[in-house]
Structure 1
């Protein structure tokens, strides 16, 4: 299990967090996948959507910090029909592969179950194989994919769904 006393995770939003999430996505996706500025703008738009409908009783953020600097982020966003959306899961490269992502997914799933969601979904893109593997280990299954150049490079945009266990 992941344990590093220098890395903290908080579940509250503070001023500056949303801008840092957009900047983290813009920089990492450009450096690692060649995504253009349109991707950072997309993240900014959708973070604004999240903020406008944010309900701390139904939504949760995981702000990952080391010595006060954001190094990762994840959120659960409520959607209609008692569905949840997993969004903005990102970790700086030096903090991947150490069990931190798994810990965050476990906490995400715990909150999802605690709040009684009936299903969940997420969108991802090709080239993110470690993330996809993690999602699949937690029960998400790919239901569709489309070819796209939405972020300035050719890729597949994929939709994954998680259905709650039936009683």
Structure 2
């Protein structure tokens, strides 16, 4: 069996990524059918208008099998946004989340961003623990009703450069 590797996202990954997000979030979180179109819109915008010098997406794979994704996009001149971080159930617990998060944060640093932000839900315990381990801090939290569910939406941030240097 081949090892897990990362490659750059290509537009032909979009259909898989939308379907996996829709299926896994419906199964694990009870999200309704409005979630898939949001992922599709994010990917459409990325494919249409991203700047590869400062915005990238990666697909984790083992051979031909896709196992996960992560994206770094511009939120502002100094701020990157982490998006579409996903691990398939068969890929969890193998250190792949750390590999993807490290890749994304290192890219953001090399692209000149000073900080990163992300949006998630409180129910994503494993992801939130990973963010904490990588130095991210919870910035805000609020109850919302999204995707047919009552959720607690969270914003997280991390400094990519030493502000005292």
TM-score under structure 1 normalisation?
A: 0.91
Paired residue for 2:81? Answer: 85
Cα deviation code 1:81-132 (max 9, x no counterpart): 2210001110111211111111111111211211120111000012110100
Please tell me whether the aligned partners of residues 2 and 62 of structure 2 are also in contact (alpha carbons under 8 angstroms).
no
1:122 equivalent in alignment to 2:118: yes
1:4-39 residue CA offsets vs partner (Å, 9 max, x unmatched): 7342210241x4211211111001101111101111
Distance 2:115 2:78 in 1: 7
1:149 alignment partner, SS class: strand
- 1:40 matched to 2:69? The reply is no
State the secondary structure of the residue aligned to 2:34. Answer: helix
- Once the two structures are superposed, what CA deviation does each residue of 1:70-91 show, in whole Å capped at 9, x if it has no partner? 2211111122222100011101
Q: What is the 5 A alignment of 1:125-140? A: 125-140=121-136
Q: Is residue 68–residue 87 contact of structure 2 (8 Å, CA) maintained in 1?
A: yes
Residue 148 (structure 2) pairs with residue 156 (structure 1): no
Determine the structure 2 residue equivalent to 1:7: 4
In structure 1, list runs of 5 or more residues that go unmatched. none
Matching residue of 1:65: 61
Distance 1:29 1:12 in 2: 21
Q: Is the 8 A contact 2:2 2:63 kept in 1?
A: no
- SS of match in other structure, 1:28: helix
Instruction: Give the corresponding residue for 2:100.
Output: 104
**Worse-superposed segment, 119-128 or 106-115:** 106-115
- Runs (4+) of structure 1 exceeding 3 A deviation are none
RMSD after superposition: 1.5
